[in-house]
Amino acid sequence: MATWNSRGLRGSTLEDLVNRTNDQYREKGLALIQKIPTPITPVRMDKENRHITLAYFDQRSTVDYIGAVQGIPVCFDAKECSAQTFPLANIHPHQVKFMEDFEKQNGVAFFLIFFSQLNLFYYLPFRELLAYWRRMEEGGRKSFRREELDEKYYLPKKSGFLVPYLEGLKLDLETRVLP
């Protein structure tokens, strides 16, 4: 069973940037996005400081964020990558299944990838992730390289938002093939 201890702060800077962006979007009436907490059961507590020092996950989490953007249901996960290659092991099969089901309900699922060494944010449409995922399932690479990514989905720094993912969402919606 997975425990919450050593991995607790991993990705917290990215999470903070996304949370602050979500606050900005909410204040401007552009989106209402909520962080989904991962349910945990405490095992060990520091009673003096009232902090959980060891816990286990009650269930697998699906995505980091869920909400609506101008009436469009969205869900996404934020991932940090310190290399030029993103390992698909950072994404779990139950997350892919949830996002696939979410999109079948006419929602939009995506990943925000932060290439920390380059200080670059990338909006990864779910359909693009699915192509890499299927390649892996068919015996291909278990990762994707940054140079494989579609340049147009890198998020601009100029829009006044810390992680301007609505720019990526807009492009994603414009390039979708409607059924």
The annotation places the binding site for Mg(2+) at 62, 64, 77, 95
Burial (0-12, 13-18, 19+ Cβ within 10 Å), 169: buried
- Residues making up the annotated binding site are 62, 64, 77, 95
166 contact partners, CB below 8 Å, separation of at least 6 = 25, 30, 31, 69
The CA–CA distances, whole Å, from 52 to 10, 37, 103 equal 17, 15, 36
